[in-house]
Structure 1
Amino acid sequence: MPPVNVVQKPTELVQIVDEQNKPIGAATRAEMRSRNLIHRCSFTIVQNLEEQIYVQKRVAFKETFPSHYDPAPGGVVGSEETYEENAVRELEEEMGIRDAAIEKLFDFWYGDETYRMWGRLFRCQSDGPFRLDPEEVEGGQFMSLQEVVGLLRGGPVCPDSAIAVKRFLEEHHDIF
């Protein structure tokens, strides 16, 4: 197991954007983290036929939000990737979902003193089974919408995903 909070894939080039979400260049993941550069991330709500949401638990050695629950898994957008390409790639890498038919929902901002990004939330339908990446995900399960609300209130939940999923529940299910 790698040490906690070590930047994963430190030399990977990621897309850097400004406060208005306009691309302004690329940087290594390590530089993006050390300088708190604004970047892009994709997030995808995975729902089954009963509209339950699949919630992952992140591994303890993740560079951001270790051991947190994540109701909208995704990842950092590469320097030559679109949000959509990244979402499809992340679903396959983290969960084994191939050729996902994703639906774009909305873009959102998240920022704090150590992490700033523009996110795009997608949704897809899959009942599994999933092949979880042990370098990313400790485990996961489907939860009812009410269970997800309880998780968002009680945590620990990735704060960027929490913002997106709360808005999704407000807009699409009149919950919250």
Structure 2
Amino acid sequence: MDSAPDTSRQAHEVVAVFDDAGHPVGSAERSRVYDEGLWHASAGVLVRSGDGKRLYVHRRSDTKRVFAGHHDCLAGGVLDPGETPEQAAGRELAEELGITGAVLTPIARVSWNGRWQGLRLRCHLYAYETHWDGPIIHQESEIAAGWWWTPEELLTHLRDPAWPFAPDTRALLGNRVAPDVNRPGEQTGTAGNE
């Protein structure tokens, strides 16, 4: 979920920095946030079909600095300074999938203290969901491919620890990919390394 194309512009992009309790404490260049393992925040959207029976899954581009080539089911990215998680989720949904005007419902949040390829990644993660049957337009620099799966298809893949799936999204969503019926409300918590 954590957007991080490995380009000069993105490396110098300024993002919001948080303390371990989730309070904003300033800002820093994205490259510094990743290199030093600073706490930051990320928000993403789980896109369900209008009838709730399918989920949109995508493969992240191979040029991403974080989780390159991994699969994900959230369109999302890091919070800009002064931005709320819901604002970031809506912005990222529009940028990555071309979806605008969708109603976002909060479904989970977790503080994730993880590692990936030698990087310490510490992030407050926020997940929302929406229902959508309209067109999806990929941002090519972010998404290599995308498709609809049933929750069962995604869960089958998630049970395989070798399947390359964004570990922050795996920690955040837990059982939230289950079919869109009789699910409990928003979940909160903390998660460590996968």
TM-score using structure 1 length: 0.89
Question: How big is the shift at 1:13?
Answer: 1.4
Question: How big is the shift at 1:81?
Answer: 0.8
For residues 89 and 5 of structure 1, do their structure 2 counterparts lie closer, same or farther at Cα, with a shift above 3 Å needed? closer
Per-residue deviation, residues 63-102 of structure 1 (Å, max 9, x unmatched): 1101110011200000121101100000000000012210
Question: How big is the shift at 1:23?
Answer: 1.0
Per-residue deviation, residues 108-146 of structure 1 (Å, max 9, x unmatched): 121224211000110011113211000000011111010
Q: Secondary structure at the match of 2:10?
A: coil
Q: Is the 8 A contact 2:16 2:82 kept in 1?
A: yes
* Alpha-carbon distance in 2 for matches of 1:173, 1:140: 24
Any gaps of 5 or more consecutive residues in structure 2? 184-194
* Aligned residue among 48, 51, 60 for 2:62: 60
> Equivalent residue for 2:114?
112
> Equivalent residue for 2:43?
42
Question: How big is the shift at 1:171?
Answer: 10
Q: Is the 8 A contact 2:44 2:93 kept in 1?
A: no
Q: Secondary structure at the match of 1:133?
A: coil
* Aligned residue among 165, 169, 179 for 1:161: 169
AA of the residue aligned to 2:168:
D
Question: How big is the shift at 1:43?
Answer: 1.5
Q: Is the 8 A contact 1:44 1:121 kept in 2?
A: yes
Question: Map of 1:14-25 to 2, 5 A cutoff?
Answer: 14-25=15-26
For residues 110 and 13 of structure 1, do their structure 2 counterparts lie closer, same or farther at Cα, with a shift above 3 Å needed? same
For residues 118 and 49 of structure 1, do their structure 2 counterparts lie closer, same or farther at Cα, with a shift above 3 Å needed? same
Question: How big is the shift at 1:170?
Answer: 6.4
* Greater per-residue strand proportion: 2
AA of the residue aligned to 1:41:
S
For residues 137 and 12 of structure 1, do their structure 2 counterparts lie closer, same or farther at Cα, with a shift above 3 Å needed? same
TM-score using structure 2 length: 0.82
* Greater per-residue helix proportion: 1
* Alpha-carbon distance in 1 for matches of 2:5, 2:86: 27
AA of the residue aligned to 2:35:
S
* Alpha-carbon distance in 2 for matches of 1:170, 1:73: 18
Percent of aligned positions that are identical: 26
Any gaps of 5 or more consecutive residues in structure 1? none
Question: Map of 1:136-147 to 2, 5 A cutoff?
Answer: 136-147=142-153
